[in-house]
Structure 1
Amino acid sequence: MKGAYNCFWDFEKEEQWLNSQSKKGLQLKKVNYFRYTFEEDATVNYNYRLEKLKDKTNHRDNKEYIEFLQDSGIEHVDTYFGWVYLRKDASEEPFELYTDTASKMAHYNRIIAIPSAIIVFNVLIFFINLFLSKESDVTNFIIGINLGMAVTLFTFILYTFNKIRKLKKSQILFHI
């Protein structure tokens, strides 16, 4: 077993990284926070795909969906924080979860749902601290953290919205 730490904004870049690790003989076994645990096996090469699930991981629909994927020859490696890590032997046909623009856009919308809710909560806490708290070093520190988190999440949301916008644009181009 071998461990590695990494952090990604973009699930597609995470997929690329996992695929490159597989080509090096490192096959994903577990994901936990920013830690990836790999098993060394150079005899196989996998294509990895990630998907943000619609509901809680243990929701019946998600369990049925994962079973459907497994019945289709896709291996479920791990699930972490609403993300499912899937793989399929790279020697088989190409492995894509989304083949149409509408389902890709729906996936991106699922990805930004939680950060959008967190940013609203963060901005609310920011204003409560700003207007209702007495000025102190601790309050200023908390305000700074809230503002920093809000800006970070807002940047992520804009990045994802830009991907959705590009998909919509390509969808319009192909329907003309």
Structure 2
Amino acid sequence: MIKTVHKFFSLGSFEKEEQWLNAMSQKGYQLVHVGWCSYTFLEGEPGKYLYRLELLEEVPEHPESAAYIRFMEETGAEMVASYMRWVYFRKKAKDGAFDLYSDIRSKIGHYRRIAGLWWVLLFVELIALAINVAGTVNYVITNGRLLNPNFFLSLFCLLLLGFVFCIGLPVLKKLRQMKKEQRVRE
């Protein structure tokens, strides 16, 4: 039986997404496809797979990413789905623990990629806000009224900017903690 679940996970909550996918696996739902806020599962053996997510430096079709995915498959992992630069790996639970990172440096690299994506989103949102504020100011100067479409778009962009800012804070906090841990270990 095929089951599709619509669920939102923010950029900084990939670990919660992993936990949820692993809980779904425990219930007998194995991931087969991922879309924007959409997960498709095939009913199967409960707890058969363990899932891990990774944000690649390039899209999965890029030669470097493809080489990395082949390397992961040689270790017994399988790329079951991808969405943009995110890849979803799984490994049979009977094979034991499944971790994508062998050291703190590679974990830091992963969080840096996520933080980099967050900074891009934040920058784009700031530009959109600036454009709409400029449009609002221009409208006020030429028409003498504040209420106009750019004013409402400015408010929307401000709210979206706040949302984007909030979803990135946990990533930055975790990155800072891992860097501190790396310094202690060295």
Normalising to structure 2: TM-score of the pair? 0.88
Q: Which residue of 134, 137, 151 corresponds with 1:140?
A: 151
Q: Which residue of 7, 10, 24 corresponds with 2:27?
A: 24
Two-structure CA RMSD over aligned residues (Å): 1.5
Matches within 5 A, 1:15-164: 15-42=18-45, 45-133=48-136, 134=139, 135-164=146-175
Partners of 1:43 and 1:93 in 2: CA distance: 15
For the structure 1 residues 18 and 43, does the alpha-carbon distance in structure 2 shift closer, same or farther, using more than 3 Å as the test? closer
Partners of 1:105 and 1:20 in 2: CA distance: 26
Partners of 2:124 and 2:40 in 1: CA distance: 33
Task: Report sequence identity in percent.
Answer: 35
Partners of 2:58 and 2:70 in 1: CA distance: 16
The answer on whether the counterparts of 2:27 and 2:46 sit within 8 Å (CA) in structure 1 is: no
Comparing both structures, which one devotes a greater share of its residues to helix?
A: 2
Deviations 1:76-108 (A, max 9, x none): 101112100000011112110012111111101
Partners of 2:90 and 2:25 in 1: CA distance: 10
Q: Kindly name which structure, 1 or 2, has the bigger radius of gyration based on alpha carbons.
A: 2
Deviations 1:27-79 (A, max 9, x none): 00000111110000026511100000101221111111111111211111011
Unaligned runs of 5+ in 1: none
Unaligned runs of 5+ in 2: 140-145
More relative contact order in 1 or in 2 (CA 8 Å, sep 6+)?
2
Partners of 2:102 and 2:80 in 1: CA distance: 22
Partners of 1:43 and 1:82 in 2: CA distance: 28
Partners of 1:118 and 1:43 in 2: CA distance: 37
Partners of 1:151 and 1:57 in 2: CA distance: 30
